[in-house]
Structure 1
Amino acid sequence: MNGWNFIRLINALRHVSIMISSQDVCEAQICLARFPNISEKQIIKALLIHRSQDILMFESVWRILFDDNSIDAINGEEKEKDSIKQELNSPSIGGQGIGRGFGGLSLTNSLTNKSLREISLISNRQKLEMLVKEGAAFDDLVQAALTDLDYYTWINSYDLAYRRGTLTEEEWNILQEYQTLLMDEIRHQVIAIQVNQENCWQPLLRQHWLFKPLSMLTESEKNLVKSSIRKWARKLAVRTGQRWKTNQRGRIDLARIIRQSAQWDGLIFRLNYHQQIPSVPELVVLCDVSNSMAPFVEFLLFLVSCLRRRFRKLRVYFFIDKVWDVSSFVWDEDFDNIREEIRSWGHKVSLGFSDYGAVFKELAETYLKDVSARASVLLLGDGKNNYRSPEKEYIAQISARVRQIIWLNPLNIEEWNDPDNIMKVYQPFYSRAFCCGTANDLQRIVKEVF
C-alpha cells in the first residue's frame, strides 16, 4: 500500500468515528513494511480496529476506497452487466410458474459476495446519482435501486410459490438468506454513490448504528447498542455520588472527628464514618408508549435497568392518555413481557392518542404525593398532544414538587415547534431537554444526566 492510500484510509476511518491513535498508525506502518507477504487489509484491520462494533464500518470503508473503485472493477462493469442480463432473461425454474426476468432467478445460484455485487450492477447508476444530487433520502435511493432490479416482483413470486407448496422449506430459507445479503449489497452500493457524490464520509457515518435512528436498527445493531449501554453503565458504576452521609461503616470522617475533638478540647476522641450516596436518590421515569414511541421506550428502559443501582428508589410509569405503574415489570433484559404489558394495558385504559394534559393531571392527583422532593423526573415523549388541552397547572405542580424534570424527545429539534407539539408550552416547567433519536444521543444523555 502506497503512502497516499494509507493516508486516505486513516482519514476515512477517523471521519467515521473509529478512534485511531498516532501509535496505532506507527505500528501499522512498521508491520506493513516488515511483513509484505501478509495481506495489507489483515494487518491494518488487526492493528487499527479495537472494537468489534467497528468491524462493519471498516469493511465498508475498505470496499469503497479499494474494492469498488479498482481498475478491474471499472473496466469489467459493462461486461458484467451484459452477462448478468442474459442470465436474468433465461427461463425460470421449471414447474414453479415464476416467470422470466429477475423473478425467475434460480435458487441454485451461488450466494457469494461476487454474485451479489454483479446483480447489483444492473441497477440504474445514473438514475441513482441524479437522485443523490436532488437530495433524495437514503431509503428512497435503496427502494429505487430495488425497483430497477424488479426486486419486489421477485420476492412476491417466490412468496406465492412457497404458499402454493412448489418451494421447499430449505429453498425458502435459502431465499430469505439471499434476500438479506442482496439488501445489504444494495445498501452498500447506494452508500458508495453518496460518498462519491458528496465527496465526504457523512453518508456512511449516518448509516452507522451509533447514528442511525433507533427505530431503523436491525436486530444485530440493536444488540450492539445494548452492549454499548452496558459498557456505559459499568463506567458509571465506579463513579460514586457527590453527597456524603454519616454511617456506621465506610470511610473515616476526619473532618467530623477533628470538629468533635475541638469541641471537647481533645479529651474525647471517637471514630466517625461516612459514605458517598447517589446524587439523585430517586428517579421517576415516564414513558409515552404510543405506537411511534415503542422503539425508543425499549432502549430507555434498558438504559434505566442497567443504571438502577445508582438510585435508592426507581419508579416507572407508562402513559398514552392514562397512566399505569410498571415498576415491577422492567428489570428483565428480555423486553417481550414489557411489550405485552404495553399492548394489554394500552387496550384496557387508553384510546390510543397521547394526551399529556390528562396524564400530568393524573400524575399530580394520584402519584405525586408518594414522590420525594429530591426525585428527578425523566420524561420520554415526542410531545405530540393531538391538539388537546395542555393542563399546564398540573405539570407546574409536578415541577414545583420534584428536583428537576428532564425531557427526552426522539424527534428532531426542528419538529419540537410543530403546531401539535406541546413542548414549547411546557418549556418553563422542565429543566433540560435532549434529543434521544440515536444511540449517540443516548450516550450523551448518560454522560450529562447520570
Structure 2
Amino acid sequence: MDGWVFIRLVHALRQVSVAVSSQDIRDAQMCLRRYPNISDKEILKTLFVHRPQDSAIFNTVWEIIVGDSQSPEPEKTHNNISPQELEKHQDRQGAGGQGIGCGSGGVSLTECGDSLDASKLANFIPVKLEELAGSDMDFEETVKRILAELDYYTWINSYDLAYQRGSLSEEAWYAHQSRRSFILEKVRQQVLISQVKADNSWDPLVRQYWLFKPLSHLSEEEKGLVRSSIRKWAKNLALRPGYRWKSYPKGVIDIPDVIRKSVQWDGHLFQLGYRRKVPRAPELVVLCDVSNSMAPFVEFLIYLVTCLRKGFRKIRVFFFIDAVWDVSEYVWDEDLSDVKQEIKSWGHKVSSGFSDYGAVFKELAERHLREVSSRAILMILGDAKNNYRSAQTDYFAQISEGVRRVYWLNPLDLSEWAERDNAMREYQDYCSKVYRCRTAKDLQRIVKDVF
C-alpha cells in the first residue's frame, strides 16, 4: 500500500472515532510487508477494528480513500447489462405498469428482481448523489429518496405479499431478506460517501456513527450497542462509589469519639471507638417528559437508572406531559417492556398530549416534594417546550431548594433553547447543571459528571 494512502486512512479512522494506536500502526506495517498475499484491506481491518460496531464505518472509510484507486470501473454490469440496455430501463414502467421507482432514470428493482447484483448497486442508483448531498435533506431523507427512486419499497412489499400467500419458499424468502439488507446497507454507504466528498470533511460520517447519532434515529442494532455501553459505564461506576463514615465495632480508630468518651473518665482512655467507610447512597428522583418528541430518549435514561439502582438508597421515577404519574414500580426489568407500555399509555394519564412544565412543577412541589429527601438528586429529562404556557418558575425554584442537586437533560441543541416556545432559559438558573442529552456520547459525558 502506498504510504500516503496509509497515512490518510489512519487519520480518517481517528477522525471518525475508530481508535488506532501507535502499536496498531507498527503491527500493520509489519504485516503488510510479511504477508503480501493477503489483501491490504483484510490485514488493516483485522488490526484496526477492535469492536464489531466499527466494522461498517471502516468499510466506508476504505471505500472513500482506497476503493476508488484500487477498483477499476467495470465496463458492464451483472448479467452483461450494457449502458445501452440501461437506457431501455429508464423508459420502462415499474411494477404493475404504474411507473413507480424509475425516478430520474435509474433501474427499478421490481423489474430487475433478484437478477441485479447488489455488489454493483452503485452503478444503478438513479439520482445524482452529488446534488442530493448538497441539498438541505438530511441523511435519512436522502436514503429514503434513493430507495423510492429504485422502487425499493414496492419491491420488498411484493415479496412480503408473495410470502404471506405461500407462493415463496422459505429458502427464497431468507435469501431475499439477506439481499434487501445488503441493498439498504450499500445505498446508505453510497450516500455517506457522497456527503463526505461534498462537504470535504468527515463530519457526515461522524454524525452517522452510533455514538454521535441522535438517540431517536438509532436502529435496533445500534440501540443494542448503546445499551451495552450503558451497562459498561454503570459497571465502571460501581467500582468507585462514594463513601461516608459510620461507627463500627472494628475498623479505623475514631479519635473524636475516643476523646468524647474519655471525658467521663477524667481524660483517661479506657475505651476505644472505631469507624469504617460505608457506601453513600442518596435518593435519586427522575422526572421524564414522555410526549411524542421525547419518548425515544426516555428509554435510554430509564435503562441507565436501572443499571445504577444499586448505587442509590432509593429511586423514584415520574413520567409527565401536563400531569405527573409515578412509574417507579415498572423500571426494574432490563427489557423495559412495562416502561414502554407506560409511555404509550399517557392518554389514560393526562388530559392532553401537550407538555405543560409549569403545571407539572406545581403538582410536583405541592404533592410530592415533601416525600423527597433533602439530600436527593433530581434529574429531569425534557426539551422544555412549554406550548406558550406559563413556566411557573416559582414552583421550580421551590423544588430546587428542597433537594441537593438538580440536573436537567435536554435533547435539543443549544441554539433551540432560546426559541420562543422553549422555557429552558427560565429554568436553567435553578439547575445545578444543564446538559445536552441527544446522543450516546452526550449520555456518556453525563454519566461521568453526575454519577
Mark yes or no: TM-score above 0.5. Answer: yes
Residue of structure 1 in register with 2:179 after alignment = 178
How far did residue 98 of structure 1 move?
A: 7.2
1:320–1:346 contact (8 Å) kept in structure 2 = no
In structure 2, do the counterparts of structure 1 residues 156 and 446 end up closer, same or farther at CA, with 3 Å as the change threshold? same
For 1:23, give the aligned amino acid: Q
2:269 to 264, 267, 270: 267
CA offsets, 1:341-379, max 9 Å, x none? 222353243421111111111111111111000111100
Verify: 1:53 aligned to 2:65, yes or no. no
How far did residue 119 of structure 1 move?
A: 2.6
Q: Distance in 2 between matches of 1:409 and 1:309?
A: 25
In structure 2, do the counterparts of structure 1 residues 15 and 259 end up closer, same or farther at CA, with 3 Å as the change threshold? farther
Verify: 1:140 aligned to 2:146, yes or no. no
The equivalences for 1:40-439 within 5 A come to: 40-73=40-73, 82=83, 85=86, 102-105=108-111, 107-109=113-115, 115-124=117-126, 127-155=128-156, 158=159, 171=172, 174-241=175-242, 243-248=243-248, 251-253=251-253, 256=256, 267-278=269-280, 281-439=282-440
How far did residue 312 of structure 1 move?
A: 1.0
- Range moving further from structure 2, 74-83 or 347-356: 74-83
Q: Distance in 1 between matches of 2:97 and 2:175?
A: 17
For 1:8, give the aligned amino acid: R
Of all paired residues, the percent bearing the same amino acid is 49
> Secondary structure, in 3 states, of the residue corresponding to 1:321?
coil
1:287–1:379 contact (8 Å) kept in structure 2 = yes
How far did residue 159 of structure 1 move?
A: 5.6
> Secondary structure, in 3 states, of the residue corresponding to 2:18?
coil
In structure 2, do the counterparts of structure 1 residues 87 and 346 end up closer, same or farther at CA, with 3 Å as the change threshold? same
2:246–2:278 contact (8 Å) kept in structure 1 = no
How far did residue 271 of structure 1 move?
A: 4.8
How far did residue 23 of structure 1 move?
A: 1.9
> Secondary structure, in 3 states, of the residue corresponding to 2:115?
coil
2:253–2:272 contact (8 Å) kept in structure 1 = no
How far did residue 251 of structure 1 move?
A: 4.8
For 2:18, give the aligned amino acid: I
> Secondary structure, in 3 states, of the residue corresponding to 1:72?
coil
> Secondary structure, in 3 states, of the residue corresponding to 2:317?
strand
- TM-score for the superposition, normalised by structure 2: 0.87
How far did residue 76 of structure 1 move?
A: 6.5
How far did residue 227 of structure 1 move?
A: 0.5
Verify: 1:449 aligned to 2:440, yes or no. no
In structure 2, do the counterparts of structure 1 residues 68 and 218 end up closer, same or farther at CA, with 3 Å as the change threshold? farther
Query: 5+ residue gaps in structure 2?
Result: 100-106
CA offsets, 1:151-190, max 9 Å, x none? 3444455566667776567655544443332121111001
> Secondary structure, in 3 states, of the residue corresponding to 1:399?
helix
For 2:33, give the aligned amino acid: A
For 2:59, give the aligned amino acid: E
How far did residue 87 of structure 1 move?
A: 8.9
In structure 2, do the counterparts of structure 1 residues 370 and 131 end up closer, same or farther at CA, with 3 Å as the change threshold? same
For 1:270, give the aligned amino acid: L
Q: Distance in 1 between matches of 2:170 and 2:423?
A: 51
- Range moving further from structure 2, 67-76 or 19-28: 67-76
In structure 2, do the counterparts of structure 1 residues 306 and 167 end up closer, same or farther at CA, with 3 Å as the change threshold? same
For 2:61, give the aligned amino acid: V
- Range moving further from structure 2, 172-181 or 195-204: 172-181
Q: Distance in 1 between matches of 2:5 and 2:34?
A: 18
Query: 5+ residue gaps in structure 1?
Result: none
Q: Distance in 1 between matches of 2:75 and 2:257?
A: 83
For 1:216, give the aligned amino acid: H
In structure 2, do the counterparts of structure 1 residues 446 and 277 end up closer, same or farther at CA, with 3 Å as the change threshold? same
Q: Distance in 1 between matches of 2:238 and 2:151?
A: 52
2:258–2:269 contact (8 Å) kept in structure 1 = no
Number of aligned residues: 441
> Secondary structure, in 3 states, of the residue corresponding to 1:291?
coil
Residue of structure 2 in register with 1:440 after alignment = 441
Q: Distance in 1 between matches of 2:345 and 2:200?
A: 49
In structure 2, do the counterparts of structure 1 residues 107 and 252 end up closer, same or farther at CA, with 3 Å as the change threshold? farther
Residue of structure 1 in register with 2:103 after alignment = none
Residue of structure 1 in register with 2:10 after alignment = 10
2:410–2:438 contact (8 Å) kept in structure 1 = yes
2:400–2:406 contact (8 Å) kept in structure 1 = yes
> Secondary structure, in 3 states, of the residue corresponding to 1:378?
strand
How far did residue 286 of structure 1 move?
A: 0.2
- Range moving further from structure 2, 265-274 or 404-413: 265-274
